[in-house]
Amino acid sequence: MKSAQELVASARNAFNNGKTKSREFREKQLQNLLRLVEENELEIMEVLADDLKKPKAEACLAEIAYLKNDVKGYLYSLKELMEPEYVEKPLPNVMDTVLIHPEPYGVCLIIGAWNYPIQLTLSPLTAAIAAGNCAVVKPSEVAPASAKLISKLLPKYLDNECYHVYNGGVAETTELLKQKFDYIFYTGSPEVGKIVYQAASKNLTPVTLELGGKCPVYLDDTVDVESAAARIVWGKFMNAGQTCIAPDYLICTKDVETKFVEAAKKKIKQYYGENVKKSPDYCRIINNNHAQRILKLIEGQNIAVGGDHDMSERYIEPTIITNAKPTDPIMQNEIFGPVLPIHTVKNAQEALQFVNSREKPLALYCFSNDKQIIDLFLNNTSSGNFLANDVVMHFSCETIPFGGVGNSGIGSYHGKFGFYTFSHKKGSMLRSINKMGEMMQGMRYPPYTENKLQTILTAIKKRPPIPGVKYLKSGIIFALGFMVAVGTNWLLLSKDKRGH
């Protein structure tokens, strides 16, 4: 494997030569990335099973199908995304071309995560390619089989000068972060995110940090508890709870807690059978260290459902905790495992206060058939995303941005928002130079006079928009502006000649 410095140098040379900037090149690389996924679906499922015992359905839906749709989305919209955005023009700029031009940052570093090791590594890369960047990809060493597959496949399908894979652990990541990148995209924990952010600051490198946090779920008595439990249990125990937007804890009244626990027991049995350990649809914890961490969080808690485990298989049973106190470690740290603590409150207002007393979550979920309650949480909390009456499903909606706020992250992506993340929006103004234009521009040159100043102030004065009219034809605006400027100039010059 080449050194980090060599890989960055290779990518930077390719970018500086303009290799990635044409639409044809970007589309070709995206098509190749799509082929990578389509031609290796079986092997992708095998490594996901090796790393996480991920069932076929979860591997197909959350990783393979998601990636294919992600790539296709950019292929279908790339021409439109690459086009400059023409914007409204104030009066002094009526004869100018004013636009926002999306340009690639350059060489990007993409650090993937282990919980969805294929999707969370290749999806940011997809956006980076669409935006015209080169990239160095660092898969998570915590999912070794997936990392090995990525390092094997990417060089076979993507341009070897522009896109590189750098494998390794903490030492290799540290070495990568010493290099000068033009953009860094990291998915992982807030603790490591702070390290990445600090490293990026040395070169003033912009970042996207897709982090996590404790995603709360509020559940009230206006909804059907059976239906709510079906959705919450699925979202919580999918991938054995190792999902950054999984429900981390439930907030409800004591009465709702009792009903939910009974409903959740039924759903767990319905999804995974009498013996969850033997279910082909239930994942495993990624490694022993993470399993031990999760078990330590359970110690001393009131276990209402589950609690069984087998370290030889990295198995932890779907577990529900009741009477969880805010000061308990399980309510302080992100669980990232198949354990759902329940914190009881008296009402929605108390739940709202509890949520707002903590770090801003990556996602906030509210189950209620009362619109006022939904609006209460939507309008009076801050979170990366908000979802009413379901969990996790907002992730697959590419028309809204996905990302955190505060401790849960910086920046967002998915769909066009991923393209914008990896693009610098360069504000541009294209002007012509000729005698007529210079006559109008001459008012800004010294020597300054009061008449010149007043003319300029009149021209640049902000005015309310004309009702029902968003854009006016440039010719009409120019004619009006030219008449105002020339008329004002004539009056002022006449005034000067009269000695006034």
Residue numbers annotated as active site: 210, 244
Predicted confidence at residue 394, as pLDDT, reads: 97
Tell me: do 172 and 24 sit in the same domain: yes
Question: How far from the centroid of its chain's Cα atoms is residue 284's Cα?
Answer: 26
Residue 191 pLDDT > 70, yes or no?
yes
Instruction: Give me the mean pLDDT over the 363-383 stretch.
Output: 98
Predicted confidence at residue 500, as pLDDT, reads: 44
Tell me: do 173 and 300 sit in the same domain: no
Residue 437 pLDDT > 90, yes or no?
no
Residue 430 located in a structural domain? no
Predicted confidence at residue 438, as pLDDT, reads: 79
Report d(CA 500, CA 496) in Å as an integer: 6
Residue 432 located in a structural domain? no
Residue 407 located in a structural domain? no
Report the number of distinct structural domains present in the chain: 3
The CATH number that applies at residue 176 is 3.40.605.10
Residue 460 located in a structural domain? yes
Instruction: Give me the mean pLDDT over the 341-370 stretch.
Output: 97
Work out the mean pLDDT of the chain and round it to a whole number: 93
Predicted confidence at residue 432, as pLDDT, reads: 87
Tell me: do 22 and 146 sit in the same domain: yes
Predicted confidence at residue 275, as pLDDT, reads: 96
Residue 495 pLDDT > 60, yes or no?
no
Residue 409 located in a structural domain? no
Instruction: Give me the mean pLDDT over the 267-292 stretch.
Output: 97
Residue 28 located in a structural domain? yes
Predicted confidence at residue 183, as pLDDT, reads: 98
pLDDT > 90 in the chain, percent: 84
What is the tens place of the pLDDT at every residue in 319-337? Answer: 999 999 999 999 999 999 9
Tell me: do 223 and 207 sit in the same domain: no
- Please, which residues have CB within 8 angstroms of residue 154's CB and are 6 or more apart in sequence? 36, 137, 163, 165
How would residue 456 be classed by pLDDT, with cut points 50, 70 and 90? confident
Residue 118 pLDDT > 60, yes or no?
yes
Predicted confidence at residue 499, as pLDDT, reads: 47
CA distances from 496 to 94, 129, 439, 485, 500 (A): 28, 61, 18, 16, 6
Instruction: Give me the mean pLDDT over the 412-430 stretch.
Output: 96
Asked if 421 and 184 count as a contact pair (C-beta separation under 8 A), the reply is no
Residue 474 pLDDT > 90, yes or no?
no
Residue 410 located in a structural domain? no
Instruction: Give me the mean pLDDT over the 175-189 stretch.
Output: 97
pLDDT > 70 in the chain, percent: 93
Tell me: do 201 and 237 sit in the same domain: no
Tell me: do 204 and 278 sit in the same domain: no
Asked if 147 and 442 count as a contact pair (C-beta separation under 8 A), the reply is no
Tell me: do 304 and 325 sit in the same domain: yes
Tell me: do 328 and 386 sit in the same domain: yes
Residue 153 pLDDT > 60, yes or no?
yes
Residue 469 pLDDT > 70, yes or no?
no
Tell me: do 51 and 148 sit in the same domain: yes
Residue 490 pLDDT > 80, yes or no?
no
Buried b (16+ CB within 10 A) or exposed e, 389-406: bbbbebbeebeebbbbbb
Asked if 215 and 245 count as a contact pair (C-beta separation under 8 A), the reply is yes
Q: Is 459 left (phi over 0), alpha (psi -120 to 50) or beta?
A: alpha
When comparing pLDDT for 485 and 233, which is higher? 233
Asked if 354 and 381 count as a contact pair (C-beta separation under 8 A), the reply is no
When comparing pLDDT for 316 and 453, which is higher? 316
Buried b (16+ CB within 10 A) or exposed e, 111-143: bbbbbbbbbbbbbbbbbbbbbbbbbbbbbbebb
Tell me: do 183 and 317 sit in the same domain: no
What is the tens place of the pLDDT at every residue in 218-253? Answer: 999 999 999 999 999 999 999 999 999 999 999 999
When comparing pLDDT for 412 and 483, which is higher? 412
Tell me: do 201 and 337 sit in the same domain: no
Residue 406 located in a structural domain? no
Instruction: Give me the mean pLDDT over the 32-47 stretch.
Output: 98
Tell me: do 291 and 248 sit in the same domain: yes
Domain hosting 261: range is: 216-401
What is the tens place of the pLDDT at every residue in 73-113? Answer: 999 999 999 999 999 888 888 888 999 999 999 999 999 99
